[in-house]
């Protein structure tokens, strides 16, 4: 079958080397199962993607797109008998249009590379998942990635104006390239297929070009406010209080002691703390108004019982703290397998959710370290499991399911920014009304009647 | 048939009075044709909407939802043999949750009433279509309404977290109520059906409850910068230059002389100007940074050749100017029938689009007054037509089509915020690739297989 697929695609190298295939067959979600693909290709143009999708459709070979493989839900994991479509070589920034504050990019462009390129034009692309040094815009679009600054500046979907995508079904033969959305900041010409594709994890078609809205670069260095707390729940109370007062920092991040220690042991950034939890806030309102916000936030931290709370006057210290936040996930991964949660709850429920996580950890005897975009109510408890210990693995899985249920019961969702992929398929079914799941499945079936694009993921059966 | 429909709905008054029906059968788009409905009902609860939709489905009677009827594209116009479902009595604010900056409302709540209610909690609902004193949140959701401050704060879709909707098709029997989206600020659990429903003009189901994100109220009064120009194109150049410099005022509005005069003759606000076009900008960045922005914007206006440009220091004058902007549309309507455009182009193309509008006016011998959310590239040329003059009507229609084509050719869209309804159906087909139109039609067909919800609108056949 792969032999004949190769014949169909004369100019494209079909990778069948087992080691390379294995490395291209999974993302960064250690617990998610990966299938055995028949091959992989590295596309470079929309036309190649078109030809690949058409050839796969003719042979009913499923297509799973991938970028850098930094996903945390298994959304890019290969499926048995499918083709892996690696888009990481489609890494050209096609256009930066400062007059309209727009960029047009291929899906394989790395988030930080785009940031650097637009900065040269005095522009800023805000979405900043912790994976920004490695993750691609295509992957960010596939999962509707969030990050630190979405508290104030929104998530990936808020920046996608238009998409080029290779689709099938009602659009015509599989392999048809279409343009969705527009280049204008407003537009209501028909249904919002762009928003439908963003976050759909490659299940509706293959995105080959992305038109992004940009913002003017920020002029002043942001202010940092740090608070240290005796418990993660106390830190959660400070988060809820800050929302209640209408404070809108750029970022409001929580790191517990286990995460801080893991980073320090790895990177020696000079972080030392006796606190059980730190809150890191960034404020980018310029001038006196920004100073007022910083003061108000420090007061909120103190009123919520912080050991201490202060505005960092040392730029290096502030940078080290945010670096620690970004490195927390890989630092924990170094210590062994991690099962990553991505629950998101209404902000007032953050303390209750944090308490519930601690209870689950105690009940199941598992170690859970927590990092969180706390200001958004988006928490990432990281459940650790020693390799080879089956009982520990089962306990971790039980805690994982319990945390999903708790989030739903608090009015939240099982995934704030990582996507459903494979790991949250059960949680999704628990969260959504059956009628809504049916609507989503019907949309998938309509736009991809062959179930060719990333089958089994998100709402797949 | 209506007799039997009344039997199906014992507690609901079926309106069949011809005059009342006529008044409920059209929105504010004077040129759009309206059908003759079999009746109208005023629903008060989701359960009533459910029963109404189920009864109509059983009898294959199409359902057209409406709110205040301030739409400008005919999207809420009745269809022959259909039922008008008036949601304006579903006007309860169900919940204001200051801890999470969320409001839950019924669709008939008037935009300004919501603003006033949340202001009491120190909160702000930004979307501000010029119709805000009359238009309903349900209608705003149906068209993804924009407004003045979306330049900085986004459009309706950016504020809708969740929806309750009565649907049919894959969700189960027609009349099934579902909950889409969530209460959290982030969430990627499945496809974004909320964004799909926003802007779908009631063609996918009936929205009966809306969960909205709010922002903290702004503390300081905004600054106003006004510039007067010799021509609308010169004003357009100032708009393009301001975007190029990365200035992001809250609003950047254009009013031409005809609009200003029409408002003055009606309301006597004391506006007097020899300018051909005014630009009105509002800046809400607090403190010195706001002052810097205001100065920079005034300089941009001057550099683009303004007769004069100044920061308004008189709060009443500033308020009068923005009131004039909001009243421009009804003021023009007082003078006779108006055919309203809603084109949106990339911001750098605003001068070219304005020049093109002037050419169309001259070529077809029609009077076109222009108001614009110029900073967004969203222009509302208002084509005037004397009543009863068939030749003038044809000329107006020709100019209308030409302006749509020009917008598409400049990389823009035929509708920025009013929706497709009936008036932009042709333009939509010109703008979209046939494959994309097919995708949208397939989504409609899947979610509403009976074509019960507002048939013929948007992508309807």
C-alpha distance from A411 to closest chain B C-alpha (Å): 7
Question: Above pLDDT 70, what percent of chain B?
Answer: 99
C-alpha distance from A247 to closest chain B C-alpha (Å): 8
C-alpha distance from A164 to closest chain B C-alpha (Å): 11
| B102, B154, B188: residue with CB nearest A416 | B188
Q: Cβ contact (<8 Å) for A184 and B441?
A: no
CB atoms within 10 A of CB A10: 7
The two beta strands, A251-256 and A338-340, are unpaired
Give the list of residues 6+ apart from residue A341 with CB closer than 8 angstroms, or none: A379, A380, A381, A382, A383, A400, A403, A404
pLDDT in tens, B304-316: 999 999 998 777 8
The two beta strands, A367-373 and A251-256, are antiparallel
Token look-up 């004397």 returns: B386
Per-residue burial over B213-237, b if 16 or more Cβ lie within 10 Å, else e, is bbebeeeeebbbbbbbbebbbbbbb
Residues of chain A predicted below pLDDT 70:
1-3, 272
Q: Cβ contact (<8 Å) for B459 and A191?
A: yes
CA–CA distance from A108 to each of A41, A65, A132, A174, A200 (Å)?
14, 11, 12, 22, 17
| B169, B244, B431: residue with CB nearest A189 | B431
Token readout for A267 is 């990177």
Q: Are B396 and B366 in contact (CB under 8 A)?
A: yes
Q: List CB contacts (< 8 A) between B345 and chain A.
A: 184
pLDDT of residue B1 exceeding 90, the answer is no
Q: Rounded to an integer, what is the distance from CA B11 to the centroid of its chain? A: 33
Q: Are B419 and B73 in contact (CB under 8 A)?
A: yes
Q: Are B312 and B340 in contact (CB under 8 A)?
A: no
Which of B75, B162, B164, B188 has the most A C-beta neighbours within 10 Å, making it the best mutation to test the interface with A? B188
B190 Rama class: left (phi>0) / alpha (psi -120 to 50) / beta: left
Based on the number of CB atoms within 10 Å of its own CB, is B270 exposed (0-12), middle (13-18) or buried (19 or more)?
exposed
Q: Cβ contact (<8 Å) for B190 and A246?
A: no
Question: How far, in Å, CA of B461 to CA of B448, rounded?
Answer: 13
Neighbouring-strand partners of residue B104: B95, B211
Q: Cβ contact (<8 Å) for B170 and A215?
A: no
- DSSP SS3 for B206: strand
ipTM of the complex: 0.96
Token readout for B347 is 């911001």
C-alpha distance from A156 to closest chain B C-alpha (Å): 11
Q: Are A89 and A42 in contact (CB under 8 A)?
A: yes
Long-range contacts, B20-24 (Cβ 8 Å, 24+) = B21/B78, B21/B84, B24/B66, B24/B69, B24/B78, B24/B84, B24/B86
C-alpha distance from B149 to closest chain A C-alpha (Å): 12
Q: Cβ contact (<8 Å) for B99 and A347?
A: yes
Q: Where are the beta strands (DSSP E) in B169-271?
A: 176-181, 206-213, 215-216, 223-229, 251-256
Task: Find, in chain B, the residue whose alpha carbon is nearest to that of A197.
Answer: B191
Task: Find, in chain B, the residue whose alpha carbon is nearest to that of A203.
Answer: B191
Lowest average pLDDT, out of A147-151, A268-272, B274-278, B389-393, goes to A268-272
Q: Cβ contact (<8 Å) for A170 and B441?
A: yes
pLDDT in tens, B131-165: 999 999 999 999 999 999 999 999 999 999 999 99
Q: Are A73 and A342 in contact (CB under 8 A)?
A: yes
CB atoms within 10 A of CB A362: 11
Task: Give the number of residues written for chain B.
Answer: 461
Q: Cβ contact (<8 Å) for A447 and B445?
A: no
Which of B189, B341, B345 has the most A C-beta neighbours within 10 Å, making it the best mutation to test the interface with A? B189
The residue among A263, A258, A294, A290 whose CA lies nearest residue A277 is A258
Instruction: Identify the pLDDT of residue A317.
Output: 81
Report which DSSP code applies to B318.
H
Band of pLDDT at residue B320, cut at 50, 70 and 90:
confident
| B169, B186, B413: residue with CB nearest A442 | B169
Which of A153, A172, A407, A439 has the most B C-beta neighbours within 10 Å, making it the best mutation to test the interface with B? A439
CA–CA distance from B340 to each of A184, B73, B424 (Å)?
19, 8, 10
Residue range B46-56: average pLDDT? 97
Per residue, the 3-state secondary structure of chain A, as one string, reads CHHHHHHHCCCCCCECCHHHHHHCCCCCCCCCCCCCCCEEEECCCHHHHHHHHHHHHHHCCCEEEECCCCCCCCCCCCCCCCEEEECCCCCCEEEEECCCCEEEECCCCEHHHHHHHHHCCCEECCCCCCCCCCCEHHHHHHHCCCCCCHHHHCCHHHHEEEEEEEECHHHCCCCEEEEEECCCCCCCCCCCHHHHHCCCCCCCCEEEEEEEECEECCCCCCEEEEEEECCHHHHHHHHHHHHHCCCCCCEEEEEEHHHHHHHHHHHCCCCCCCCCEEEEEEECCCHHHHHHHHHHHHHHHHHCCCCEEEEECCHHHHHHHHHHHHHHHHHHHHCCCEEECCEECCHHHHHHHHHHHHHHHHHHCCEEEEEEEHHHCEEEEEEECCCCCHHHHHHHHHHHHHHHHHHHHCCCECCCCCCCCCCCHHHHHHHCCHHHHHHHHHHHHHHCCCCCECCCCCCCC
Question: CA angle, B453 as apex, B176 and A446 as ends, to 5°?
Answer: 75
Q: Cβ contact (<8 Å) for B186 and A344?
A: yes
Give the list of residues 6+ apart from residue A390 with CB closer than 8 angstroms, or none: none
Instruction: Identify the pLDDT of residue A272.
Output: 66
CB atoms within 10 A of CB A44: 17
| A99, A180, A442: residue with CB nearest B243 | A99
Instruction: Identify the pLDDT of residue B312.
Output: 81
Token look-up 């209404």 returns: A346
Residue A97 backbone dihedrals phi, psi, to 5 degrees: -115, 90
The residue among B263, B242, B264 whose CA lies nearest residue B252 is B242
Q: Rounded to an integer, what is the distance from CA A176 to the centroid of its chain? A: 28
Based on the number of CB atoms within 10 Å of its own CB, is B105 exposed (0-12), middle (13-18) or buried (19 or more)?
buried
Residue range B50-66: average pLDDT? 97
The two beta strands, B251-256 and B206-213, are unpaired
Q: Cβ contact (<8 Å) for A459 and B190?
A: yes
The dihedral over CA atoms of A278, A282, A283, A284, expressed in degrees to the nearest 10, equals 170
Size of interface A-B (CB pairs under 8 A): 297
C-alpha distance from B136 to closest chain A C-alpha (Å): 18
Q: Cβ contact (<8 Å) for A248 and B216?
A: yes
Long-range contacts, A387-394 (Cβ 8 Å, 24+) = A387/A336, A387/A337, A392/A366
Question: How far, in Å, CA of A206 to CA of A202, rounded?
Answer: 6
Q: Are A215 and A284 in contact (CB under 8 A)?
A: no
CA–CA distance from B35 to each of A12, B64, B66, B452 (Å)?
56, 11, 14, 15
Task: Find, in chain A, the residue whose alpha carbon is nearest to that of B426.
Answer: A189
Band of pLDDT at residue B3, cut at 50, 70 and 90:
low
pLDDT of residue B170 exceeding 80, the answer is yes
Token readout for A193 is 């297929």
pLDDT in tens, B83-109: 999 999 999 999 999 999 999 999 999
Token readout for B290 is 């706001």
Q: Domains in chain B, start-ordered, CATH in brackets?
A: 2-86 (3.30.43.10), 93-216 (3.30.465.10), 220-326 (3.30.70.2190)
pLDDT in tens, A378-417: 999 999 988 888 999 999 999 999 999 999 999 999 999 9
Report which DSSP code applies to B348.
G
Token readout for B22 is 């006529």
Task: Find, in chain B, the residue whose alpha carbon is nearest to that of A459.
Answer: B190
| A143, A289, A445: residue with CB nearest B287 | A289
Token readout for A235 is 């830190």
- DSSP SS3 for B232: helix
Report which DSSP code applies to B58.
H
CA–CA distance from B284 to each of A150, B219, B240, B280, B301 (Å)?
21, 9, 20, 13, 18
pLDDT in tens, B203-245: 999 999 999 999 999 887 889 999 999 999 999 999 999 999 9
C-alpha distance from A122 to closest chain B C-alpha (Å): 8
| A100, A377, A415: residue with CB nearest B188 | A415
Q: Cβ contact (<8 Å) for A100 and B346?
A: yes
Question: CA angle, B53 as apex, B52 and B59 as ends, to 5°?
Answer: 95
Q: Are A170 and B408 in contact (CB under 8 A)?
A: no
Q: How many Cα neighbours within 13 Å face the side chain of B149?
A: 18
Based on the number of CB atoms within 10 Å of its own CB, is A221 exposed (0-12), middle (13-18) or buried (19 or more)?
exposed
Alpha helical stretches, state H, B182-340: 193-197, 232-244, 257-267, 287-303, 315-334
| A151, A418, A458: residue with CB nearest B190 | A458
Q: Cβ contact (<8 Å) for B435 and A171?
A: yes
The residue among A63, A42, A208 whose CA lies nearest residue A141 is A208
């Amino acid at each position: 079958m792969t032999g004949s697929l190769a014949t169909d695609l004369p100019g494209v190298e079909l990778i069948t080397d087992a080691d390379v295939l294995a490395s291209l067959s999974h993302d960064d979600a250690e617990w998610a199962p990966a299938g055995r693909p028949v091959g992989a290709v590295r596309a470079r143009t929309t036309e190649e993607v078109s030809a690949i999708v058409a050839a796969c459709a003719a042979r009913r070979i499923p297509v799973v797109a991938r970028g850098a493989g930094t996903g945390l839900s298994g959304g890019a994991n290969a499926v048995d008998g499918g083709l892996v479509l690696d888009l990481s070589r489609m890494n050209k920034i096609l256009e930066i249009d400062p007059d309209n504050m727009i960029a047009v990019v291929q899906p394989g462009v790395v988030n930080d590379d785009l940031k650097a390129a637009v900065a040269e034009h005095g522009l800023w692309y805000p979405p900043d998942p912790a994976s920004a040094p490695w993750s691609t815009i295509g992957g960010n679009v596939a999962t509707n990635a969030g990050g630190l600054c979405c508290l104030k500046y929104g998530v990936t979907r808020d920046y996608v104006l238009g998409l080029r995508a290779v689709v099938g079904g009602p659009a015509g033969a599989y392999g048809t390239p279409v343009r969705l959305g527009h280049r204008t900041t407003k537009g209501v010409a028909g249904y919002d297929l762009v928003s439908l594709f963003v976050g759909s994890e490659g299940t509706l078609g293959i995105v080959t070009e992305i038109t992004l809205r940009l913002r003017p670069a920020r002029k002043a260095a942001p202010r940092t406010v740090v608070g240290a707390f005796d418990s993660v729940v106390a830190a959660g109370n400070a988060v809820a209080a800050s929302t209640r007062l209408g404070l809108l920092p750029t970022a409001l991040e929580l790191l517990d002691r286990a995460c801080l220690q893991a980073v320090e042991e790895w990177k020696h950034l000079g972080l030392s703390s006796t606190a059980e939890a730190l809150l890191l806030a960034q404020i980018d309102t310029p001038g006196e108004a920004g100073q007022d916000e910083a003061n108000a936030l420090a007061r909120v931290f103190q009123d919520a019982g912080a050991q201490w709370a202060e505005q960092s006057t040392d730029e290096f210290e502030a940078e080290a703290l945010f670096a620690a936040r970004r490195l927390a996930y890989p630092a924990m991964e170094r210590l062994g397998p991690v099962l990553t949660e991505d629950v998101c709850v209404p902000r007032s429920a953050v303390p209750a959710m944090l308490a519930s996580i601690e209870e689950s950890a105690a009940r199941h005897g598992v170690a859970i370290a927590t990092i969180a975009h706390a200001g958004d109510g988006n928490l990432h408890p990281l459940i650790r499991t020693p390799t080879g210990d089956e009982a520990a693995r089962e306990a971790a899985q039980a805690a994982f399911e319990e945390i999903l249920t708790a989030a739903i019961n608090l009015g939240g969702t099982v995934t704030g920014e990582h996507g459903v992929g494979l790991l949250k398929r059960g949680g999704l079914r628990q969260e959504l009304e059956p009628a809504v799941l049916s609507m989503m499945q019907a949309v998938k079936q309509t736009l991809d009647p062959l179930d060719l694009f990333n089958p089994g993921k998100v709402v797949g059966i």
